[in-house]
Structure 1
Amino acid sequence: MPHVVRVRAPEGVAQAPGYSHTVWGTGRIVAIAGQVAMDEQGQLVGPGDPAAQARQVFENLRRCLAAAGATFADVIKLNYYVVDIGHLPAVRAARDAAIPADQLPASTAVQVVALFDPGYLMEVEAWAVVPEDRA
């Protein structure tokens, strides 16, 4: 059995595009703090551009996962916080570029009034499960 199991739609639940309803796994739990479109120097990437910001967010998530010996294949849950729900297509495109369709995690997306700085359009946090034998 794989260390992460995804059920796109349990019996009696409609299949949703872009995420799995139920995901579980065995191994070390890795929590990735909410990532924004900030580069290595702490500068905003893509002011006013949801697609550029989403790409940077997923690159930051990739780097944080790698620090724990994880990849997007290990992600079991993503939480999206967007200041405009209209930015979700850009978030989904960045997600789809990073995560294969057969490895979609559970997810939640909410619109928020603001993030910590008005230039940031989204924040995404991740939860992963990494096999014990992987550093």
Structure 2
Amino acid sequence: MQITLDNPASAPQPLSPYYSQVARVEHPDGSALLFLSGQIAEGATVAEQSRGIFETIATLLAAHGATLADVINIRTCLTDIGALHEYGAVRQEFITGTPPTSMTFEVPKLFRPEAQIEVEVVAAVSPRPAA
């Protein structure tokens, strides 16, 4: 098993030097699990921030040959659980088909004071086709 930590140039860079955006845990058969750090985004509303978050997640996944369809787990922190429906509506735009496992909870505040939501995902990537 090989573990690679990555900050793809195609995606926004981490807000701090203390973490990597993606941990790729690769199996010898070429399949992999991608663990993405929690993502926040700019915006005045939870919907705006959610949209930016899922766009960033899609970019991070694409850098590792995955899509949002490969997401198997989502963990979401909201500073106001009352905004769950607003977040859920945006999430359904990006995560279609059978929903992944999920955990959502309310927190008093996040890393950045303006952040109302943070989303972390795990994705499973199929083996690469033989060349």
Percent identity for Structure 1 against Structure 2? 37
State the alpha-carbon separation in 2 of the partners of residues 88 and 68 from structure 1: 29
Q: Is 2:104 the counterpart of 1:104?
A: no
Q: Distance in 1 between matches of 2:121 and 2:50?
A: 14
AA aligned opposite 2:107: V
1:30 aligns with: 34
Higher relative contact order (CA 8 A, sep 6+): 1
Give a deviation string over 1:97-116, Cα, whole Å, max 9, x none: 0111x231000001011101
Task: Supply the RMSD in Å over aligned alpha carbons.
Answer: 1.5
Structure 2 residue matching 1:30: 3-state secondary structure: strand
Q: Which runs of 5+ in 2 are unaligned?
A: 1-28
Does 2:50 correspond to 1:46? no
One-letter code of the match for 2:33? I
TM-score by length of 2: 0.72
The Cα shift of 1:91 comes to 1.4
Identify the residue that residue 8 of structure 2 maps to in structure 1.
Answer: none
Please list the CA deviations of residues 22-70 of structure 1 after superposition, one character each: whole Å capped at 9, or x if unmatched.
Answer: xxxx931001110101xxxxxxx213x1111111111111111111111
Q: Distance in 2 between matches of 1:75 and 1:116?
A: 24
SS at match of 1:116: coil
Give the equivalent residue in structure 1 for 2:111.
116
Separation in 2 of the partners of 1:65 and 1:103? 18
Q: How does 1:56-95 map to 2 (within 5 A)?
A: 56-95=52-91
Q: Name the amino acid aligned to 2:99.
A: L
Distance in 2 separating the partners of 1:90 and 1:57: 14
Q: Which position in structure 2 is the counterpart of 1:9?
A: none
Q: Which runs of 4+ in 1 moved over 2 A?
A: none
